[in-house]
Amino acid sequence: MIRQWSTLHPEFSFLPRKFKIAITGAPNDRAAVKIHDIGLRMHRNAAGEIGFEVIVGGGLGRTPIIGEEISAFVPWRQILNYCEAILRVYNLYGRRDNAYKARIKILVKALGVAEFTRQVEAEFAHLKDGPSTLTEAEVARVAGRFDDPVLAPLPPTDAAHEAHLAADKAFAAWVRRNVRAHKVAGYASVVLSLKKHGVAPGDVSADQFERVAELADDFAFGEIRSTHEQNLVLPSVRVADLHTVWQRARAAGLATPNIGLLTDIISCPGGDFCTLANAKSIPIANAIQDRFDDLDYLYDIGEIELNISGCMNACGHHHVGHIGILGVDKNGEEFYQVTIGGTQGNHAALGKVIGPSFAAAEMPDVITSLINNFIDNRHEDERFIDTVRRIGIDSFKTRVYAERAARLGARETANV
Ligand code: SF4
């Protein structure tokens, strides 16, 4: 509905700059709503009514900012009117004199969130119940264009599946990392990993896409979703079919059991493909995959997000990676700045820079130092990000630069 409402909407035809809206309907944000111009989080209020938390002014790039809530609850019928009010304030006061300062995040920052909210609410007072108000009939019309697969009720467990889990360690590892619970008993959601070691993160060949299409047609009601983590999802697969799906996905190189682990890297195309790049991203991702190619060790490290961008445009979302790597240009040479402590999702936060940048060849060692410091300091079952939050970045920083100095010193000694 937002797409239909916004296409050819006059308020959209001369905005100061590009504009992106993200929506999530899940308790855990999977749509990065806090780093979009408008983020909408659907939820129920205390009375059980459906509406949206509205977040405005998020964005990464050269001025990374986490969006701010301007309304805790806008009733669903009013959401387009409320978005229209936001756009009107942006259209009136967003800067058009400087492309770098034209995004809505800069306006929200300049006005302050309280004043921005006041202005939006003042516009909304005029727009409320206006022509963009949603109705049940309109929601039903649009919903009717999206066929939900009819999922026949199934028993929650499957004896053959349980037997495969018990007999086959590799299958069990894949189920643990790449298969997620489904709201309907007897079904599961499957993540097809596009993070095979040695392959550019997110890359998929034409042949693999054929296999994905076959898997979707044969086992997932013809549905495929892509994630911003650069993987593919088969949203509804019968639990009883998981073993066959795994075998076929594995044969196609799409079943690396590393979802959410260190090698499930988000990487932009970087200098290999992008003319805006300061540095290459993909070789850095591949070098880190090579260094951490032991799955048991990856499982021991646990959940961690590592994001790489080849320039400050931040297409690889490095600011919100638990570890973020940014390609920078230093006198024509490629270097990499490292941040830690960033997070996406409900508690989105920007990472902090740990210090001076590194040469490409140093990056696997830098990541090793960060991981070793985490392992030495973590509490049992603590994730990397939780350790960083608990102890701060200083010990990570000290470890990385001390070990780097030792390496450089050893190299100089060897060269004497
Ligand atoms: S972050 Fe920079 S290098 Fe990477 S794809 Fe975006 S513009 Fe290109």
Per residue in 238-263, pLDDT tens? Answer: 999 999 999 999 999 999 999 999 99
State the distance from the centre of ligand 1 to the C-alpha of 275, rounded, in angstroms: 8
pLDDT: is 415 or 316 the higher one? 316
**Max CA separation in the chain (angstroms):** 80
Beta strands 21-24 and 38-44, pairing class: parallel
State the distance from the centre of ligand 1 to the C-alpha of 314, rounded, in angstroms: 6
Please give the structure tokens belonging to residue 343.
């997070």
State the distance from the centre of ligand 1 to the C-alpha of 306, rounded, in angstroms: 16
Distances in Å between the Cα of 240 and the Cα atoms of 82, 92, 223, 243, 354 are 45, 56, 18, 7, 47
H or E stretch at 85: helix 79-93
> Residue 410: pLDDT above 90?
no
For 272-291, what is the mean pLDDT?
97
Confidence at residue 30, expressed as pLDDT on a 0 to 100 scale = 87
How many Cα atoms occupy the beta-carbon half-sphere of 51 within 13 Å? 15
Beta strands 333-340 and 68-75, pairing class: unpaired
Model pTM score: 0.94
Confidence at residue 219, expressed as pLDDT on a 0 to 100 scale = 97
* Separation of alpha carbons 366 and 372, rounded Å: 10
State the distance from the centre of ligand 1 to the C-alpha of 312, rounded, in angstroms: 7
Which of 268, 280, 336, 337 has most ligand 1 atoms within 8 Å of its beta carbon, as the pocket-test mutant?
A: 268
Listed in sequence order, the residues at least 6 apart from 135 whose beta carbon sits closer than 8 Å to its beta carbon are: 77
- Protein residues with CB under 6 Å of any ligand 1 atom: 268-270, 274, 276-277, 309-311, 313-316
State the distance from the centre of ligand 1 to the C-alpha of 270, rounded, in angstroms: 5
* Separation of alpha carbons 130 and 121, rounded Å: 14
Q: Which residue has the tokens 């409402």?
A: 5
Q: What is the pLDDT of residues 171-189, one digit of tens each?
A: 999 999 999 999 999 999 9
Question: How sure is the predictor about 404, in pLDDT bands with cuts at 50, 70 and 90?
Answer: very high
DSSP 213-277: HHHHHHHSTT--EE-TTS-EEEEEEEGGGHHHHHHHHHHTT---S-TTSTTS-EE--GGGT-TT-
Which of 313, 319, 337 has most ligand 1 atoms within 8 Å of its beta carbon, as the pocket-test mutant?
A: 313
